[in-house]
């Protein structure tokens, strides 16, 4: 069975540009999460989808970040416009229930 996949694996953009990250969860997992690790800090929660609905978006840093999960399958996270402090590794995870979350390999975003 395929795990969580993320695209792209790396992205280098300039400040002010837009970037869209994609996550494909494990098939059948209704729960999808986005997390971010900024260099030197712990991994932090951004938001949680149940199917296509946003269950918890308490971790979204500001309105430059927009997450969608149309149709309840894959999800996208758009950053517009990107700022220097947005650099980090963005992880997506999925789960069937409240227990184990399965993480994707992450997208390493660098904003110059």
Partner 1 sequence: RKEVEQDPGPFNVPEGATVAFNCTYSNSASQSFFWYRQDCRKEPKLLMSVYSSGNEDGRFTAQLNRASQYISLLIRDSKLSDSATYLCVVTLSGTYKYIFGTGTRLKVLA
**72 vs 49: CA distance, rounded Å:** 8
**97 vs 79: CA distance, rounded Å:** 28
Assess 45 for contact with partner 1 (CB under 8 A).
yes
Residue from 17, 20, 31, 110 in contact with partner 1 (CB under 8 A) = 31
Which residues, at least 6 apart from 12, have a Cβ–Cβ distance to it below 8 Å? 110, 112
Closer by beta carbon to partner 1, 17 or else 110: 110
Residue numbers of the site for partner 1 (CB under 8 A)?
4, 31, 33, 35, 41-45, 48, 55-56, 58-59, 91, 93, 95, 98-106
């Amino acid at each position: 069975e395929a795990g969580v996949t993320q695209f792209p694996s790396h992205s280098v953009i300039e400040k002010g540009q837009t970037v869209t990250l994609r996550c494909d969860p494990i098939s059948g997992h209704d729960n999808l999460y986005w997390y971010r690790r900024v260099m030197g800090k712990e991994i932090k929660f951004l938001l949680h989808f149940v199917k296509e609905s946003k269950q918890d978006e308490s971790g979204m840093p500001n309105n430059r970040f927009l997450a969608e999960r149309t149709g309840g399958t894959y999800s996208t996270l758009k950053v517009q416009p990107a700022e220097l402090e947005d650099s980090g590794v963005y992880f997506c995870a999925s789960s069937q229930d409240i227990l184990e979350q399965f993480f994707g390999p992450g997208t390493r975003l660098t904003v110059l």
